[in-house]
Amino acid sequence: MGLGRVEAFSDGVIAVIVTIMVLELKPPASGEWTALAAHQLPLLNYALSFIVIAIMWVNHRTTLGLVRHVNSHVLWANNNLLFWMSLIPLATAYMGQTKAAPLSVAGYGGVLAATAAAFTLLRFVIADQHKADESLARRHQRIHRKNIFGTLLYTASVPLAFVSVRASFFVFILIPALYFLPERWLESE
């Protein structure tokens, strides 16, 4: 199987994930500001999840661009990532329906942690193809640190949700923000 087919399949699955997520949003019952305000949390949850998925898609495209040859390890690691990503709409909807109750926030954090771990695994599988290239190996190593850091923070957000939902949301916002910052802090070896 060629890389183009893997990319096309992945893009299709991610497009369906975003579509399912937006279909979960219900419009306000009236044109009043109070009705719109009642939909604020689900809309913010959607925006957060959309940003997370968009960052994953961009990084996924970049990461797949480094694949030297598609093998079963790449295919299964990619499918593992897509599985966990496909649970993001469910976790987003649950969090919105429960008005960010601690259990739903912990569930959302758990799905994001598993997704981040799956992305890290995919990156490890692809990095294995570049062991002989010292420059690419160093690049993978720097990015691994960022991926592992994000996975650990998402994992920490799960128990944190039962202590402070706001602290978990801080983690949910912090990690995407880190992907928009320059990667200088990763340069130390």
Average pLDDT, the chain: 91
Rounded Cα distance between 64 and 59, Å, is 8
**CB contact at 8 A, 105 and 33:** no
Would the CA dihedral through 76, 10, 90, 46 be positive or negative?
Answer: positive
Domain ranges of the chain: 3-186
- In the prediction, which pLDDT does 132 show? 82
Supply the pTM of this predicted model: 0.91
For 123-174, the pLDDT digits (tens) are 999 999 888 888 888 888 888 888 999 999 999 999 999 999 999 999 999 9
Residue 149 neighbours by CB under 8 Å, 6+ apart: 178
- In the prediction, which pLDDT does 37 show? 84
Mean pLDDT of 53-61: 94
